[in-house]
A and B are shown apart, each in its own frame.
Chain A
Amino acid sequence: MASSKDDLERLLKREYVAGFITDIEADTVPPGLDESVIRLISAKKEEPAFLLEWRLAAYRHWLTLREPRWAKVAYPPIDYQAISYYSAPKSRADAPQSLDEVDPKLLETYEKLGIPLHERARLAGVAVDAVFDSVSVATTFKEKLREAGVIFCSFSEAVREHPELVRQYLGSVVPHTDNFYAALNAAVFTDGSFVYVPPGVRCPMELSTYFRINAANTGQFERTLIIADAGSHVSYLEGCTAPMRDENQLHAAVVELVALEDATIKYSTVQNWYPGDEQGRGGIYNFVTKRGDCRGDRSKITWTQVETGSAITWKYPSCILRGAGSVGEFYSVATTNNHQQADTGTKMIHIGPNTRSTIVSKGISARHGQQTYRGLVKVLPSADGARNHTQCDSLLMGDRCGAHTVPYIEVKNPSAQVEHEATTSRIGEDQLFYCRQRGISAEDAVNMIVNGFCKDVFQVLPMEFAVEAQKLLSVSLEGAVG
């Protein structure tokens, strides 16, 4: 009798489609980290003194820290002296004024990824700040944003053009002492994105950045800072793919969001970094600190993420609900296939009165994938009337994967309402057979069932991202029932 397992097994073994390396000369410093490297990075970027001092303070603090070991992930020790901390495309020396001047090889890379910059910008009305390795090489739709008063640029440019904003907000959500990786990032970050939306402005378009790790053996330390001033609104999209390679690559980004009174920030991520091969070799280590501060009353921050890539993910996009009546939301779909490991979740810290948070986490594990949801809901004594609802669902495919749920709930205010629901289910052979009996292929049936499982999250993604996310999910889980 025909077996769907064989088909699925075959599909599962499909190669990572975004795996290729673009041949561009890179200006890379030798591996190793000490104060001189940090001074070099700062000098190359012509940074003001306060930033260099901040970097050095972070570095000195980092030296006193140890790598966190509490996450449910396993990997060999990382040699931080074997990493090169600076790499910039050569063509950066004479920065392009328009797309015509952009290195054609670079544009080719985007073509391969199916995100032609100009097309996408023109057709979709999306401004793209493309981070290739560590330096921004193209920024579009700047004019339109400038008219609205929105600042959207590379972090380096923000340091040059708006040092007062950078100085005021940098490290105010994720201090340079926050954790091992955040301290490392603060010391050596090379670039990233910066957004400032002035009071009362609704950002006229979705802001989008494509990160891509390219130069071999170069750690990536992006830093993103988004400030939504009083009564403003901004939606930011982050999408990632990476080329195929053998060595593990460390990625330790920091994202800081600040929402002032009545401001709304929506931060959406589709992450598809190289997860390693079938035996678990290679793949990106994604150790990221993402945190939003609902600083003003009635402010709102929403994190939405679709995580299909990376060998190891360590990531907890969080909200500090400081303002009265502020709202934090976290919607997540994470998949772990082959030997991927993910320890991910969120933290909702209720400080202000009548603060509300919602957590919807959908975890999908296949083959040897191991996934942990780790979430903290903390209600401080000051947070009268705080409310949280957590929905945490795991879907298992096959019998060698694992799903683990570790909720931490700390409530120090008797008026708070905290709800936690969790389910774990196996993708049913029954569901699969039902769909196939109606003429739908096993592959399409799996996609359909998984998309149904993730519906609550996909519904809150921006439209163009939702389509991409569904496609990604289907590629990353091909043949995962085995």
Chain B
Amino acid sequence: MLQIDDLQVSVEDRPILKGLSLKVNAGEIHAIMGPNGSGKSTLAAVLAGREGYVHTGGAVHYRGQDLLALAPEARAREGVFLGFQYPVEIPGVNNVYLLKASLNAQRRHRGEPELDAFEFLRLVREQMTFMGIPEEFLRRSVNEGFSGGEKKRNEILQMLILQPRLAILDEIDSGLDIDALKVVSRGIEALRSPDRAMILVTHYQRLLDYVTPDFVHVLAGGRIVRSGGKELARELEAEGYGAVVAGAGA
């Protein structure tokens, strides 16, 4: 699904990713953990195509394509979804309108018929119930005046409706209380499938109490310094990044 080889990326001439390699297969959930400033969010942003990140070396292949050559919307239509750490507010643009435009853009790309308003609303209502999102959400503008938890739920709702092939969730657990964390985790688990891969970027281990990853990677200094199974997350929690990173010789 995703193959990252020796990826090097700079921001304003400052190298952030310094030779990162990672392979993600369909059906797998990878957790990427690391201390602040290690490059976690940069990795998520680069994979989604945000501006301002300069690709200085290495390659990223997604389903055989050169991912970095694609515009952000082209990546999205190919099934790459980014759950934002800080979802953006768009005043005056209705939540449902954005989501419908988004789903239909992707369906057109896949050669599928667009959903009409009725079918679409049925789909949204179903997923809203699942995510415990109140009806008034339908009338509100995109993320405007949402609490931190509501914004994150909205990200997961969008993901459930868009059904991406590769979901990258950037600190989806930050700012969530325990109830919201459970709901968000349930949304993530609902999408676990043999055809789909997920990358969870997180600082803390607690999300992994609810979503069990197949692999855990520790990112430090712009490289992956250790990889392991889900037990690695517990080790990090117990010993801290310092010890784990030092042990890896990074």
Contacts and interface: CB of A to CB of B under 8 A. Distances in A.
B62 interface: no
Contacts of A442: 71, 73
A430 B93 contact: no
Interface string B57-97: 00000000000111111111100011010011111110001
Interface in A1-25: 1-5, 7
A428 B88 contact: yes
Interface string A57-79: 00000000000000000000000
Contact of A439 (B54, B89, B102): B102
Interface centre among A433, A442, A449, A451 (most CB of B within 10 A): A433
A455 interface: yes
A436 B71 contact: yes
B90 A434 contact: yes
A48 interface: no
A382 interface: no
A452 B87 CA distance: 17
A433 B92 CA distance: 17
A438 interface: yes
Interface string B162-197: 100000000000000000000000000000000000
A436 B73 contact: yes
A236 interface: no
A441 B102 CA distance: 9
Nearest to B46: A1
Contacts of B141: 452
B105 interface: yes
Interface string B200-223: 000000000000000000000000
Contact of B90 (A431, A444, A456): A431
B154 to A, nearest CB: 11
A433 B76 CA distance: 11
B110 to A, nearest CB: 10
Nearest to B78: A439
B102 A452 contact: no
A430 B105 contact: no
Contact of A1 (B55, B102, B105): B55
B93 A449 contact: yes
A1 B92 contact: no
B105 A439 contact: yes
B34 interface: no
Contacts of B48: 433, 437
A429 interface: yes
Given A439-B105, A451-B92, A452-B90, A4 B71 contact: yes
Contacts of A439: 73, 76-77, 102, 105-106, 109, 162
A2 B69 contact: yes
Nearest to A453: B92
Contacts of A455: 92
Given A433-B72, A438-B102, A440-B73, A1 B90 contact: no
B91 A452 contact: yes
B92 A437 contact: no
A175 B81 CA distance: 62
A399 to B, nearest CB: 15
A434 B87 contact: yes
B91 A437 contact: no
Nearest to B50: A433
Contacts of B39: none
B241 interface: no
A4 B48 CA distance: 13
B191 to A, nearest CB: 16
A448 interface: yes
Contacts of B72: 2, 4, 433, 436-437
Given A1-B68, A449-B90, A437 B101 contact: no
Identify the interface centre among A430, A436, A448, A449: most chain B CB within 10 Å of its CB: A436
B42 interface: no
Interface string A452-475: 111110000000000000000000
Contacts of A437: 48-49, 72-73, 75-76, 81-82, 84
22 contacts: A2-B49, A2-B70, A2-B72, A433-B51, A434-B84, A434-B88, A436-B72, A436-B76, A437-B75, A437-B76, A438-B102, A438-B162, A439-B109, A442-B73, A444-B101, A448-B93, A449-B93, A451-B93, A452-B90, A454-B92, A455-B92, A456-B92
Interface of B: 46, 48-51, 53-55, 68-77, 81-82, 84, 87-93, 97-99, 101-102, 105-106, 109, 141, 158, 162
Q: Which 6 A-B pairs have the closest CB atoms?
A: A452-B92, A452-B93, A438-B102, A439-B76, A455-B92, A436-B72
Given A7-B71, A433-B48, A440-B98, 15 more contacts: A1-B55, A1-B68, A4-B71, A429-B51, A434-B88, A436-B76, A437-B76, A439-B106, A439-B162, A440-B73, A440-B101, A444-B105, A448-B93, A452-B90, A452-B92
